[in-house]
Amino acid sequence: MAKYKMHMLVCGGTGCHASEGQMLFENLKKEVQDNNLENDVQVIATGCFGFCEKGPIVKVIPDNTFYVSVEPKDAKEIVAEHALKGRAVKRLLYFDPVRKEQIPDSKHMGFYKKQLRIALRNCGMIDPENINEYLAADGYEAMGKVLLEMTPEEAIKEVMDSGLRGRGGGGFPTGLKWQIASKNHADQKYVVCNADEGDPGAFMDRSILEGDPHTVLEAMVINGYAIGATKGLIYIRAEYPLAIHRLKIAIDQAREYGLLGTDILGSGFDFDVEIRYGAGAFVCGEETALIHSMEGERGEPTFKPPFPAQSGYLGKPTNVNNVETYANIPVIITKGAKWFSSIGTEKSKGTKVFALAGKINNVGLIEVPMGITLREVIFEIGGGIQGGKKFKAVQTGGPSGGCLTEKHLDTPIDFDNLLSVGSMMGSGGMIVMDEDDCMVAVAKFYLEFTVEESCGKCSPCRIGNKRLHEQLDIISKGNATEKDLDNLRNLSNVIKDTSLCGLGQTSPNPVLSTMDNFWDEYLAHVNEKRCPSGVCKDLIRYEVIAENCVGCTACARNCPVNCISGERKQLHVIDQALCIKCNACLEKCKFNAIAVI
């Protein structure tokens, strides 16, 4: 076997894949071959590195050189310079916008410095399509340990002692969930992996399945053994073709090695896994809706109890855990509950993966220990706000979460703290907003999503969210009164109080938290008919600033509705009646002569 001195890890996640990552990978391989380096340099397609803002990524081991925005044509130079001569290709290094300098390797990048990778430990490290790489990275050892050296009770206890809580959004103690399922006796039980990731902008589950599919399979076997289930189902949305492709390969490889199937590792325990496809409905992330969908029924939640642990898939006891939750399990078994519970806060142990998005410099996927502050995440890992603008709010918990502000920045992130400040952990979406974001528009955006994704079964969610959205629309058009704001708050509270499932019980959170934290903005829309951030189209107008206008005609030429008039070298005027507020004039004006008022 070749003894490689250098590994080139090429991101093979969906994001980088989409931006010609596959071609880059092939070019690198070809260059290595052309230079007769195939025994020295190994080129590997891995899972996501998380730093999606600057994909495709190539990381060179052992020096951890971190190349960003690499194009297929750069392969030649990387191999010639780095592999042959040992010199980094400087132009491809990451340029830190805050420190204003190039960063030579990942160890010196703020993005990675404060991260602690447990669930993502193998993502970007191993070739997800090669089970041998997973085995080399301690793969299936935890499973072996559980099957051969532990009783089901001991396995459950280990997970319970670790303090692991469900990463899909609910935060229910995983060990307790397992224990309940283990105590319900039946001729057949099921273990279900919830890979129906639906929060807008969240893609941690997809990344884990793409980057480290075996870890999920291993955890499911452990789960099955612990609760007495021999069948595992992975419910994954059909829009995740790469994850499905890699899962299928992983399942086949695990079966070939006998790590799935009958009498696993001679333990006498049988377990196998099947994939089920979802059509991508947000509500199917809810356990009961997910189970109905798997059964071929309409993906609608039903009242709990009965919980899936009592009567789940096909009426049998079923344990449902999310992908990220599962990704923690093998590590907990190998390193022990004590180790795991030493990380994090009192009630939230371990780490959490977040998808950073919005007006932040380093958009991407990160894993951090519980207890880290929002400030550290946004300003250190995330590299602060784009374009040096002012931070305004961060939305956590996806469409069900709330918007947190400056005053919450030093809150240590964990399940309970986020709840106590009016937001939630959710599945780990984190969207950062700056001074240009209007909070009424933000709330409206999230409601648009929930209106779309409500299953329609219960009245408050089906009609209430629609009305919330309509009310927000009225506010954003300047047609609301303060009484409407009272109604909005009452309606929000009633929807939370009366909805059938978690979707409706949390969907008004963006409205309530923006009302709580940005009341002035609502009042400005209602009383002054003004959008302070200049976002709500009906409340803004574009004006020419007379002293700046030189009459260059650029605005008039670019106006799609020809509503700007003015002779060359004369002051231009915008006809407000015709203006559609497309922003084209402002973008084209080189003299700062167009303003939003």
Partner 1 sequence: MELIKLTIDNRTVEVEKGTTIFIAAKQLDITIPTLCYMNLKDLNIEHKPGGCRICVVEVEGRRNLAPACATECSEGMVVKTHSVRVLNARRTVLELIISDHPFDCLICAKSGNCDLQDMAVKLGVRDIPFKGEKSTYKPDFSPAIIRDMDKCIMCRRCETMCNDFQTVGVLSGIHRGFEAVVAPAFERDLDHSECTYCGQCVAVCPTAALTEIDHTNQLINDLSDSSKTVVVQTAPAVRAALGEEFGMEPGTLVTGKMVAALRQLGFNFVFDTDFAADLTIMEEGTELLDRLSRHLNGDKEVRLPILTSCCPGWVSFFEYHYPDLLDVPSTARSPQQMFGAIAKTYFAEKQKLNRKDMIVVSIMPCVAKKYECTREEFATDGNPDVDYSISTRELAKLIKSANIDFKALPDEDFDKPLGESTGAAVIFGTTGGVIEAATRTAYELHTGEELEKVDFEALRGFEGIRSATVNFKGLDVNIGIAHGLGNARKLLDDVRAGKSEYHAIEIMACPGGCIGGGGQPLHHGDTSILKARAKAIYAEDEGKTLRKSHLNPDIIKLYDEFLGKPGSELAHKLLHTHYFEKKIKHISMD
Partner 2 sequence: MTKIKSLADLKKMKSELQSQVALREKSETPEGRVLIRVGMGTSGIASGAKQIMEFLIDELEKRNIDAIVSQTGDMGYSYAEPTVEVTLPKQEPIVFGDVDQKKADDIIEKYIKNGELLDGIIPANYETIDKK
Enumerate binding residues for partner 2 (CB under 8 A): 1, 3-7, 9, 61-64, 84-88, 104-105, 107-108, 125-126, 132-133, 135-141, 144-145, 147-149, 253, 256-259, 265-266
d(CA 72, CA 26): 8
Which residue has tokens 């300003």? 379
Q: How far apart (Å, rounded) are the C-alpha atoms in residues 426 and 171? A: 8
Least distance (Å) between residue 21 CB and partner 2: 19
Minimum CB–partner distance for residue 442 and partner 1 (Å)? 20
Letter for the amino acid at 259? L
Count of chain residues binding partner 1 (CB under 8 A) = 35
Q: Buried b vs exposed e over 324-334: b needs ≥16 C-beta within 10 Å?
A: bbbbbbbbbbe
Read off the tokens for 136.
């080399």
- Spell out the residues 6+ positions from residue 234 whose beta carbon is closer than 8 angstroms to its own: 192, 193, 195, 216, 220, 247, 273, 274, 275, 276
Q: Which residues of 404-427 are buried (b: 16+ CB within 10 A; e: fewer)?
A: bbeebbebbbbbebbeebbbbbbb
305 binds, among partner 2, partner 1, none (CB under 5 to 8 A by kind): partner 1
Nearer to partner 2, 113 or 390 (CB): 113
Which of 86/305 has CB closer to partner 2? 86
> With respect to partner 1, which residue has the nearer C-beta, 103 or 294?
294
Decide if residue 373 touches partner 1 (CB under 8 A). Answer: no
Instruction: Note whether 69 binds partner 1 by CB under 8 A.
Output: no
Residue 125: name its binding partner from partner 1, partner 2, none (Cβ under 5 to 8 Å by kind): partner 2
* Cα–Cα distances in angstroms (integers) from residue 107 to residues 64, 86, 258, 332, 524, in the given order: 7, 18, 38, 25, 46
Q: What is the distance between the alpha carbons of residues 444 and 461, in angstroms, rounded to a whole number?
A: 15
For the CB of residue 575, give the shortest distance to partner 2 in the complex, in Å: 56
Q: How far is the CB of 462 from partner 1 (least distance, A)?
A: 6
Among 130, 311, 487, 583, binds partner 1 (CB under 8 A): 487
Contact 370, 345 (CB under 8 A): yes
Q: Does 296 bind partner 1 (CB under 8 A)?
A: no
Q: Which of residues 184 and 253 has its CB atom nearest to partner 2 in the complex?
A: 253
Which of 91, 183, 298, 338 contacts partner 1 by CB under 8 A? 298
Question: Quick check: 120 and 353 in contact, CB under 8 A?
Answer: yes
Rounded Cα distance, 143 and 318, in Å: 20
Amino acid residing at 47: G
For the bound state, the minimum distance from the C-beta of residue 445 to partner 2, rounded and expressed in Å, comes to 38
Q: Which does 266 bind (CB under 5 to 8 A by kind): partner 1, partner 2, none?
A: partner 2
Contact 340, 331 (CB under 8 A): yes
Does residue 209 touch partner 1 according to CB under 8 A?
Answer: no
Q: Smaller CB distance to partner 1: residue 347 or 489? A: 489
Partner that binds at residue 490, options partner 2, partner 1, none, CB closer than 5 to 8 Å by kind: partner 1
Each residue 459-478 as x (binds partner 1 by CB under 8 A) or -, in order, gives: xx-xxxxxx--xx-------
What is the CB neighbour count within 10 angstroms for residue 166? 21
Instruction: Name the one range near partner 1 by CB under 8 A: 77-85, 217-225, 236-244, 496-504.
Output: 496-504
Q: Can you list the positions of beta strands (E) in 435-480?
A: none
Q: Which does 132 bind (CB under 5 to 8 A by kind): partner 2, partner 1, none?
A: partner 2
| Site for partner 1 contains 399 (CB under 8 A) | no
How many H-runs (helices) and E-runs (strands) does the chain carry?
26, 19
Interface contacts to partner 1, rule CB under 8 A: 281, 283, 298, 300, 302-303, 305, 451-460, 462-467, 470-471, 487, 490-491, 494, 496-500, 505
